[in-house]
Chain A
Amino acid sequence: MSFITRGFSGRNRERDPRLPPGQTKVEDWPVLSAGPTPKIDTADWSFTVTTETGAQTHWSWDELRALGIEDITTDIHCVTHWSKLEMPWRGVPIDKILAGIPTKAKYVMAHSYGGYTTNVPLDELLNGQAWVAFEAEGAPLDPEHGGPARLLVPHLYFWKSAKWVNGLTLMDGNDPGFWEQAGYNLHGDPWKEERYW
C-alpha cells in the first residue's frame, strides 16, 4: 500500500500495553449489529439451557437473577479492532446457571432473540470466565448493546458475547454460529489474533 493521502492521520488512536495485538483503546462504546434490535420486555424474557440429549431447564428473569449477581471489572475486545479497558459489569456467572446440569458435551451454542448464534467451548464458559450480564457501566444494558441481557465472555473477541442471549445449547461438536459460518474464527482468542478462518 503505497498511496498516502496528504494531510490525513485518522482519529487519535491510543496505544496501551494492556491491549491485545491489533487493538485500539476507545472510551466510547461502538454499537455493531447484524440486524434489527430486538425489543424484549423482562416480563416476557426467559433463559433456556438445552443439553445434548434435549433436556431443558428454563428460568424467568427473576429466577435467573436470583441465582446470584456479581460485579465484574474486565476488558473487552472487538474483532473490529476496538477495545474498552476496565469496564464494570454485573451478571450471573454461567457456573451458577450450569451447576447441577449433567452433560458430557464439550461445546455450547449461545442463542439470542432475533436469531443470532455463536459457539464457545464449554470449559471456556466455566470457572469464572463467563456470565449472563444485565448491567454495564453502572446502568441496565440498553437494547442496542444487547439488553435486557447478553452473554459476557470477555477473554474471547466480543462477537462471542452474544447480545440478547436467551439460551445455551450444549453440543458434542464445535458447530459454527453466525459469524463463524461467515468467515470468523471458530475460537476467537484476541491474544493470538484468532480473527478469521
Chain B
Amino acid sequence: MSAPPAEPVEPPAAARTAWRVGTVVEARPETSSARRLVIDVPDWPGNDAGQHLDVRLTAPDGYQAQRSYSIASSGSGTRIELAVDQLPDGEVSPFLVEDVMVGDKLELHGPLGGYFIWMPQADTHDPRPVQLIAGGSGVVPFLAMVRAHAEAADPTPFRLLYAVRQPDDVFYRQELTQLAANGLQLDFVYSRTAPRDWPVPAGRITKDALAGFAIPASEKPRVFICGSTGFVELVAGWLIELGHAAGDIRTERFGGK
C-alpha cells in the first residue's frame, strides 16, 4: 500500500526569509547618484512585488552596517534587482553606488515584508484600481509592482504618480515610458527643474495636483505611497482630506524629511 503523492507545500515564512549570499552580476548607473544592481542569489525563494531585503556589510575588523532596500524585481528566479540612491552621509549606499563591483558577494536578508506588497487580481480577487505614489527613490517597490502587473496581463487599473526633483532623477524612465504606452497611467511632478516645454512650472507637489493626478476617492482605490517621511505624511494627509479611507492607504517611509 503506497501513500498518495505529497501535495507541494508552501514553506512557512521562516524558511523563505533567510540570510543568503548573492553575487553582483550587473552594476550600472541609474542616475547621477543612483545605481542599478542585479544580484544572483542561487537559493532565492522568489519574492512578492513590493518586498524588501536587508544588505549587511562587514569590515575586516568585524564592524557591520546594514540597511533595507526595496526589490525592483519580483516572482521566481534567482536574479534580483535593486536600485540604490546614494545618501550624502550614508554608510551603506555610498558603498553600493561607488565601490561594489561585478563579481562581489553581498550578504542579503530577505525577502521581507508582507504588508507593502501587490499581488495580481487572479490571487486576491480584488478588482479595485491601484494608485501608486512615489517620492524620489520611493519608486523602486513600484517598479516591481508595475512589472508584475504587466507580466500577469492583470486587468486592474494601475496609476503611478512619480514625484522627483528634476528629470535626471527619474529611475527606469525608458521602462516606465514603455509601460505607459501599454496601459499604465503615468504622471510626473517635478519639484525643482521641469523638462523644457513642461506645461506647469516646477514646484513642490500640491494637494490640487495630487487630486488631479490620483484616482478619485469615489473609486475606492488601494493606495501605496513610498518616499521620505515628509513626502509620505504630506501626501497621506491630503488623501485622507480628499476622502480616501485610512485603511485603503499603505505607506512605506524611509526616514528623512
| Physical contact A–B (CB less than 8 Å) | yes
Q: Which residues of A contact B (CB under 8 A)?
A: 1, 3-11, 13
Q: Which residues of B contact A (CB under 8 A)?
A: 21, 57-65, 91, 95, 99-101, 104-107
B98 CB to nearest chain A CB (Å): 10
Q: Is the CB of B107 within 8 A of A7?
A: no
Is A5 within 8 A of B63, CB to CB? no
B137 → chain A closest CB, angstroms: 21
Cross-chain contact A5 with B59 (CB below 8 angstroms): yes
Residues from chain B with a CB closer than 8 A to the CB of A9 are 59-60
* Bound Cα distance A3, B105 (Å): 9
Say whether, besides A8-B95, A10-B91, A11-B91, A1 and B100 are in contact (CB < 8 Å). Answer: no
Contact assessment for B91 and A5 in the assembled complex, using a CB-CB cutoff below 8 Å: no
Residues of A contacting B101 in the complex (Cβ-Cβ under 8 angstroms): 6-7
Instruction: Indicate if the CB atoms of B95 and A3 lie closer than 8 Å.
Output: no
Rounded to whole angstroms, the CA-CA distance of A1 and B65 in the bound complex is 14
Cβ–Cβ < 8 Å partners of B63 in chain A: 10, 13
Give the docked Cα–Cα distance between A8 and B93 (Å). Answer: 12
- B99/A8 in contact, CB under 8 A: yes
B62 near A5 with CB under 8 A, answer no
CB distance from B20 to the nearest CB of A (A): 11
What are 27 A-to-B residue pairs whose CB atoms are below 8 Å?
Answer: A1-B58, A1-B62, A1-B64, A3-B21, A3-B58, A4-B59, A5-B58, A5-B59, A5-B95, A5-B104, A5-B105, A6-B101, A6-B104, A6-B105, A7-B99, A7-B100, A7-B104, A8-B57, A8-B58, A8-B65, A8-B95, A10-B57, A10-B59, A10-B61, A10-B63, A10-B91, A11-B91
- Chain B contacts of A10 at CB under 8 A? 57, 59, 61, 63, 65, 91
* Chain B minimum-CB-distance residue to A6: B104
